[in-house]
Amino acid sequence: MRETIEPESGSALEELTKDPSSRKRFLGMVGGAGAAGAMAMFLAACGDDEKDKKADSSGEKKDAKGGGGVDLEIVNYALTLEYLEAQFYADVIKSGVVKTKAVVEAAKMIGQNEQEHVDALLATAKKLGTPAPKPKTDFQAVIDGGEKMVLATAATVENLGAAAYLGQAGRIESKEILAAALAIHTIEARHAAALNTIVGKPIVPDGAFAKPASMEEVLPKIKPFLVS
């Protein structure tokens, strides 16, 4: 069972503290680590943060609207990438093209991570403004290429994803969104390293310092998977 927790204000958190059953449900949803719970909360806090800024007429130097604009652009960019990744793993698993049992398990786990990223980013985008639509994707050519091609593509996409997040870190205005993006960034890096190991690539292809990629560099590379 999946639920999206979107506390509208501090009161939702108070409810969580007061109500053991709601707390239990929430903890059950996030699993043992509790990390996703923290994420849902700081992502929710971001949204209200922006609202509060707009409501507050006492002019802070940083333009709240401008900040939301840049951050919304980045959140929607990340959302688009995560939609694509999540759909990729879903299509791959459904196709049955991957035969190695351990690899199927890894693909399921990674796919689940990507879906959670989608959920968290979608909730954040909604708080900031209008979320990017789910892109129409087509991975048939990759799937037709067999398990090896699927894994190579997965590795490429994950390395690209990690570079994409790193490329945006310095542009993000909200510290909370930055924290959330970093928490996702390192998960993409973990996926990339694991897949690199599986396909026989170095775990750190850029050496001791990972290289960022800009939107201009990333978007053309995902274009082959998009259906217009």
Partner 1 sequence: MSSSKLVAPELASIEIKGMTRHAFMMRSAVAAGSVYGLSTVGPFVSRAIAQEGGGDVDILNFALTLEFLEAAFYDQAVKNTQGLGAKNKKLAETLRDNENEHVDALTATITDLGGKPVAAPGVDFGKAFANEKSFLETAQTFEDLGVSAYNGAAPQIESKEVLGAAGSIVQVEARHAAAIRFVRGQPISEGAFDKPLEMQAVLDAAKPFIKS
Residues of this chain that bind partner 1 (CB under 8 A): 9-10, 13-14, 16-18, 20, 23, 30-39, 41-42, 45, 48-49, 52-53, 56, 106, 109, 112-114, 116-117, 120, 162, 166, 169-170, 175-176, 178-180, 182-187, 189-194, 196-197, 203-204, 207-212
The candidate with the shortest Cα–Cα distance to 71, out of 144, 124, 111, is 124
Residue type, 70: V
Find the distance separating the first CA and the last CA of the chain, reported in whole Å: 32
Shortest Å, Cβ 99 to partner 1: 20
Q: Helix 147-168 vs helix 64-95: angle between axes, to the nearest 10 degrees? A: 170
Give dist(CA 40, CA 16) in Å, integer. Answer: 13
Length, in residues, of the chain: 228
Is the CB of 43 or the CB of 143 nearer to partner 1?
43
User: How many angstroms separate the CA atoms of 42 and 158, rounded?
Assistant: 24
Amino acid identity at 83:
Y
Task: Report CA torsion sign: 132, 130, 68, 179.
Answer: negative
Phi (first) and psi of residue 74, to 5 degrees? -70, -40
What does the block give as tokens for 226? Answer: 């998009």
Residue 5 is given by DSSP the state -
208: its two tokens: 């001791």
Report the amino acid identity of residue 205: P
Q: Which amino acid, 47?
A: G
Q: How far is Cα 12 from Cα 86, in angstroms, rounded to an integer?
A: 29
